[in-house]
Amino acid sequence: MSDLDPSLPSGEPLIPDTPAVEIHEGPALKHIVEALVFASQKPISAKEIAAALRGASEAAKENPLIGAFAKTKESEIVEAIDALSADYAAAGHAFEIRETVAGWQLVTAPAFAPWLRQLFPESKPARLSAPALETLAIIAYRQPATRADLEAVRGVAVDGVMQTLLDRQLIRIAGRADVPGRPLLYETTSHFMEHFGLRDLEELPNASELRRAAAAIAEANAKPVEEPPAAAEPTDPPFTDVSAPEPTEEPPAAEISDPSPEPETDPQDHE
């Protein structure tokens, strides 16, 4: 039996019927998510990414490739972000995708900070004083907290540091306490979470972790005092003074300068 069909021009070979294969063209979901995270001026959440996918589908209804992502679930977006993160880590890129309290964003890896800081020499990171950090820590662990609560723990007035924390948007007024006088309540902000790289308050270190960290810092600070530097440690064997030998019971040098006895003479030789 011939594979050529005489009814077809030029005797073209017969092609058996095969099921239609759906061919997808265009970018994959994780690359679309990557573009959205890269272009966003602020951390973007899975909900916002899903909304962008639906909006693009409605704006381009005639394009089935774009409409294919209209019903993407947030769980699928999270999986795509996890895949991107794994790709970046495997390739050794200088940037990474990081989750914050407000969503995901692309950031440079911490290892490249010394070189990146040279691009912005005038922009130095603002540092909080020790009293401000103590007050902020109390608010973070006991929020919402009143000013009286903070002063009771610290034992000093906190007016100045509270204003500093408010100006830097690390804390905010959360309302008023239901006690006589109705004092203001304070709590941390989303900027606080982003500044310290936290996704939620559950990631704050607990008491045991803080104790271990404090012990490690104390040990590191005490190590140079307790142990001398490596260069100062003796590397030679125990010192022995070979330049001055121990004294012996030998006679003085003048008495042993000529150890051989003088020859005896005969008294008759002088006569």
Residue 189 lies in a domain: yes
Residue 226 lies in a domain: no
Q: Are residues 106 and 137 in the same domain?
A: no
Residues 6+ apart with CB under 8 A from 200: 101, 193
Domain count, the chain: 2
Q: Tens digits of per-residue pLDDT, 73-108?
A: 999 999 999 999 999 999 999 999 988 888 899 999
Q: Tens digits of per-residue pLDDT, 41-62?
A: 888 999 999 999 999 999 988 8
Amino acid symbol at 25 = E
Whole-number mean pLDDT of the chain?
Answer: 77
Would you say 199 and 101 are in contact if contact means Cβ atoms under 8 Å apart?
yes
User: Which residue, 128, 130, 135, is CA-closest to 149?
Assistant: 135
Q: Is the pLDDT of residue 267 over 70?
A: no
Residue 17 lies in a domain: no
Share of the chain above pLDDT 90, in %: 28
Give counts: helices (H), strands (E), the chain: 10, 5
Give the residue from 203, 235, 260 where a domain finishes: 203
Residue 209 lies in a domain: no
Q: Is the pLDDT of residue 147 over 70?
A: yes
Residue 158 lies in a domain: yes
183: CATH? 1.10.10.10
**pTM of this structure:** 0.54
Q: Is the pLDDT of residue 122 over 90?
A: no
Residue 212 lies in a domain: no
Q: Tens digits of per-residue pLDDT, 232-262?
A: 555 555 444 444 455 545 544 444 444 444 5
In terms of residue numbers, what domain contains 139?
A: 130-203
Give the residue from 186, 203, 220 where a domain finishes: 203
String of DSSP letters for 210-250: HHHHHHHHHHHHHHHHHS--GGGS--SPPP---SSPPP-SP
Interval 107-132 mean pLDDT: 84
Q: Are residues 48 and 105 in the same domain?
A: yes
Share of the chain above pLDDT 70, in %: 70
